[in-house]
Structure 1
Amino acid sequence: MKVNKKKNVIETPSPVPRAATARSGTQSIERAAQLLRLVAAHQRDGVRLTQLADLAQLDVSTTYRILKCLVEEGLIEQRMPDKAYALGLLSFEIGLAAMQRSPLLERAIPAMKAIAAETGDTVYLVVRSGDEAVCLHREEGSFPIKALMLEVGGRRALGVGAGGLHLLSSLADDEIEQVCARNRAAIAQFRGLSIAELRDMVRDTRERGYGVSRDRLTEGVSGIGVAIPNPDGTPYAAISVAAISSRLHPERYAEVVKVIQHAIARFLTER
């Protein structure tokens, strides 16, 4: 409230419309969630402020204010002396609480153990989280050379990796284009993968009926991924098998896919 001396009246500032206030609050939550996902994706090495701002397409000052709040709440922490950000203890506590009663994990883990025992290779469970695929669980087979390409809690752009590729390929064309547009920078980090190449991989995946990643993430390592459908048929998770490429060669694809599909079909009947 202020006095207008020229008019000799008291003026009251116009209230901020509720819709605008609500939108501002929602946008702040969206940005905080986006930054949390980006920090989680770089958990092993940490990620610097300027890199986060660039990945989130936010200005540095806005990014810093949100990160400061997340640090104060314990959701992230800033490592010293490099000042890189990583997930904080509260994020781990929330994740552990969510995992304790996960129906998907309860059903999938026995199936993954069976796949690992039969193939001898490393088995991954990933779920879609927005524009990314997140690893929920990993089982190692008996073969001495392990393909440990993704840790539990690790994130990748949807479409990168065999499981994420089958999940992306299951979406409608317009949604795929939207996801790819938002993930363009993240996708390019994987051996220079382009959107055009990813479109070709989606086409091949649809024709094949499962995802294949051969020497794409790491030279000499390949993966086979099969999506897990919801009751309505919409995929929400995927199981993949990874091994050195000389072991997981094209002649073996059908055999491995059959093992994965059989295990998925078995635990889907237990719903």
Structure 2
Amino acid sequence: MNQSVIKALKLLDFFSSEQKELTLSELSNKSDMPRPTAYRLLSSLEACGFLSKIKNTDQDVRYRLGLKLLELGGIVAEQLELRNIALPWMQELCEDINEAVHLVVRDGDEAIYIEKVESSHAVRLHTRVGKHSELYIGSGPKLLLAYLPEEEQQAIIEKLSFAKLTENTVDNKETLRQQIQKIREEGYAISRGEQDKDTIGISYPVRDYTRQVVAALSVSGPTTRISREFEEIVRQKTKDTAAYISKELGYSEAGI
């Protein structure tokens, strides 16, 4: 671990509703850091927008939390709102089809599973909340990649190393581009044995009031339980559920 980063971030913990502004001396004393070290770390936090400096006089210079934290807090709040809105619908969908339901969002160049409702079957998929996945593997991550702006999408594709998890995992850029083009045309993503052999995943986009895709609603299960006939039922019910969640997030097909 990078100790300098840890020390810098711990300086942020000294700010509170009671102490909204702190001087270099106060932060140095509270953290037991030499003043030059504290100043260097504070300057880095200021340059990144995590702190702002208020200079009342040459002798009275204080730091307060920066707007970058407000921006990041807003992102966290949006994700919490998304989970809170989606969860009841996910539970209803899971009760209806009795297969695992996931909510997947983008996290940088990866996808992360932020919510899961498990089926009652003894045989289950090995997924968990907090799991990260490359954006080219599985129906949910791949759907998120498909709906990114073209320039951003291609930048991510160019960086992929294509580790092959199963014989069905896509292993080259051209095939991936063809697959995400198909996702855009059909409006949903389906994967067969890409992460785990003999499994199927079906995902539909969740949109917010800006009409952007903010998550993928995914249903996953073993192919022994999801037959071709049942697959059509799962597709329609997942599509409908994604639409209900999107509507609660303010999405309207008529636009804004």
Give the shorter-chain TM-score range: 0.5 to 0.7
Residue matched to 2:152: 175
- 2:101 touches 2:117 (CA, 8 Å); kept in 1? yes
Amino acid at match of 1:204: K
Q: Which string of whole-angstrom CA distances, capped at 9 and with x for unpartnered residues, describes residues 137-178 of structure 1? A: 111112332123x22111112232211111111224333211
Structure 2 counterpart of 1:205:
183
SS in 2 for 1:226: strand
Q: Distance in 2 between matches of 1:165 and 1:254?
A: 20
Give a deviation string over 1:93-146, Cα, whole Å, max 9, x none. Answer: x99xx5798111111110110111111101111111222111111111123321
Distance 2:94 2:5 in 1: 38
Q: Distance in 2 between matches of 1:135 and 1:101?
A: 11
For residues 65-144 of structure 1, the aligned pairs below 5 Å read 67-70=2-5, 98=76, 102-144=80-122
Residues 136 and 166 of structure 1: CA distance in aligned 2, closer, same or farther (over 3 Å): same
**Amino acid of the residue matched to residue 163 of structure 2?**
A
Gap change, CA 1:251 and 1:175, over 3 Å in 2: farther
Structure 1 contact 158–167 (Cα < 8 Å) conserved: yes
Task: Map Cα deviations across residues 9-46 of structure 1 (whole Å, 9 max, x no partner).
Answer: xxxxxxxxxxxxxxxxxxxxxxxxxxxxxxxxxxxxxx
Equivalences for residues 246-265 of structure 1 within 5 A: 246-265=224-243
The one-letter amino acid paired with 1:217 is: Q
Partner of 1:215: 193
Aligned residues: 183
Q: Percent identity?
A: 25
Structure 2, gaps ≥5 residues long? 11-71, 250-256
Segments of structure 1 that go 5 or more residues without pairing to the other structure are: 1-65, 76-93
CA distance in 1, matches of 2:9, 2:200: 37
Paired with 2:104 and 2:91, the residues of 1 have a C-alpha distance of 15
Aligned to 2:174: 196
User: Hey, what's the Cα distance between the residues in 2 that align with 1:208 and 1:249?
Assistant: 20
Who is 1:34 aligned against? Answer: none
Q: Give the TM-score taking structure 1 as reference length.
A: 0.60
**Normalization by structure 2: what TM-score?**
0.63
Q: Is this contact kept in 1: 2:208–2:246, CA < 8 A?
A: no
Query: Which residue does the alignment assign to 1:266?
Result: 244
Alpha-carbon separation, structure 1, partners of 2:108 and 2:144? 12
